[in-house]
Amino acid sequence: MGMSEKQYSLKEAMLFTQRIGQLSKALWKSIEKDWQQWIKPFDLNINEHHILWIAYHLNGASISDVAKFGVMHVSTAFNFSKKLEERGLLQFSKKENDKRNTYIQLTPEGEDIFLKIMESYQPTGNAAFSGALPLRELYGKFPDIIEMMAIVRNIYGEDFMEIFERSFQNIETEFKEDDGKLKKMEKTEQELS
């Protein structure tokens, strides 16, 4: 479709991009602060925690996977993974059939710290959670954010959304709420559910 056949006005396009940009920036600022507070006791930054998250859910992710699904530059993914390796939380490896890519895997200590972070999660004081709570009370569930997910899918692709969903599905099936904390279920509990 040529420029003369577009179905939107320049003003409409500009208003949309500015609206989503400014809303995203405001939301991110709040989410970033809450995320940093959550992981602060574990002496991690957001990129490091995100890498642990991806390594846990992908179980044998390449550095390029980490960059793609962590929405970070490959050098950022590598450098922060290296710091996690130095702390004994990740290990690097190459695959026999793929010498070009570097893969990461959580060490037992890495999995342990990941699970401790999950257990330490407290929704109170989380601005995005608190901001969505009135909607949950009104509609009986948290917003699905379907439109935002559709925009992200169109930007980053189906693979990105598949991994995104897989990580949340893993939490749904592998974790339980126990005494006000999220805890990983034992293998037998997972098989029964």
Domain ranges for the chain: 16-192
Residue 41's contacts (CB-CB under 8 Å, 6 or more residues apart) are 120
* pLDDT band with cut points at 50, 70 and 90 for residue 193: low
For the stretch 145-167, pLDDT in tens is: 999 999 999 999 999 999 889 88
Is the pLDDT confidence value at 3 over 80?
no
Per-residue pLDDT, 191: 63
Per-residue pLDDT, 72: 97
Residue 90's contacts (CB-CB under 8 Å, 6 or more residues apart) are 51, 52, 55, 81, 84, 104, 105, 106, 107, 110
Contact 89, 109 (CB under 8 A): yes
Is the pLDDT confidence value at 1 over 60?
no
Q: Tell me the sheet residues that pair with 62.
A: 103
- Give me the chain's average pLDDT, please: 92
Q: Which one is the CATH code of 16-192: 3.40.640.10, 1.20.1250.20, 1.10.10.10, 2.40.50.100?
A: 1.10.10.10
